[in-house]
Amino acid sequence: MDIKIIYSDIDGTLLKGDHHISPKTREKILELDRKGIPFILVSARMPDGVRLIQRELGNHRPIICYSGGLILDEDQKVIYSRQMELGLAVKVQADLERECPGICVNTYGGELWVVKDDKNPWVIREEKITEGKSAAGDIGSVFLQAGGIHKFLLMGNPDDIAKGEAFLKADYPGLSVLRSNEYYLEVMDGSVDKAAGVKCLCERYGIPPEQAAAFGDGENDVAMLRAVGYGFAMANAPERVKKQVGNVTKSNEEDGIWEVVKGL
C-alpha cells in the first residue's frame, strides 16, 4: 500500500472500549509520524474532546472536528469552518424539542457546548467520556456573535434517535443528518462531512487522496472512507457501514488500525 497520510475516527475506531489508545497502536502511529506519514484525528467531537485524545497520542498535527465542520492546524488556528446559520439552528432546536421530547439536544460551536439542562444524564455521561464541560444557556444568545453553530448532537435511546432522524430528514433535507452510533445523531450544515475535511488536509499536505488511508466505524465515517485510496471500516462497525466500504479490518478492541499499518 502506497500510504502517505492516515486519517482516523476516534470513538469506536482508535479508542478501545476503555476510551484509551492501545499502546502498540500508539507506538506504531508515532513511528509512522517520525517517518513523515501524518496521522490525523477526525471526529464529530468538539476541539477539546479531540485535543484530549491528541495529548494521549502524543503527536502534533492538525485536527478535524465536528465531522469536518471545523479544522484546526498544528497551532490550533482555524484552517476551515462551516457553520449552520443561527436562525435555522434556533428553529431546528425548537422543532426537535416539540417533535422529539425524549431526545437530549446538545449544541456546539467553536469551543462551546451548550445545553438546556446540564444535569441531564446524557450530558453528564458525555462529559465523563470527553472530559469536557457543557454550559446551560440559550443558543440564540450564546452564538449570536458567531452567527451560527457547528453541530447539534442528539442523544437518546435508539427509538427516539430513529424518530429524530426521520423527522429531520423529512423536514430539513438540506442538513447533514448522520448517526455516529445508535444513541447519537449528528446534525450539521448540509455541506459538512468528514470527506470534505480529508480533502482539505490532503490538499494542504500536497498528498492525493488516493495515497491516503482512513479508518472509521460509523455512518458518519462512510464518506471519508470512500474518499481515500485505502478506506477501512472496523469489524465492530454496523453491517450497513461495512457494506458501503471496500475493506474491513479487525475491531477497535483487536487493534484494527495497527493490523493494517504494521507493515508500513
Residues belonging to the active site = 9
Distance set, CA 68 to CA 95, 166, 239 (Å) = 25, 23, 24
Sheet strand arrangement including 184-189? 135-136, 112-115, 104-109, 151-155, 184-189, 175-181
Query: Under DSSP, is residue 228 helix (H, G, I), strand (E, B) or coil?
Result: coil
Give the pairing type, strands 5-8 and 39-42: parallel
- The CB-based long-range contact list for 136-139 (8 Å cut-off, 24+ gap) reads 138/114, 139/86, 139/89, 139/90, 139/93, 139/107, 139/114
Distance set, CA 126 to CA 41, 131, 150, 225 (Å) = 19, 8, 18, 26
Query: Under DSSP, is residue 37 helix (H, G, I), strand (E, B) or coil?
Result: coil
Give the separation between CA 207 and CA 187, rounded to whole angstroms.
29
Q: What single-letter DSSP state applies at residue 131?
A: -
Give the separation between CA 63 and CA 51, rounded to whole angstroms.
8
Residue with cell string 471526529: 43
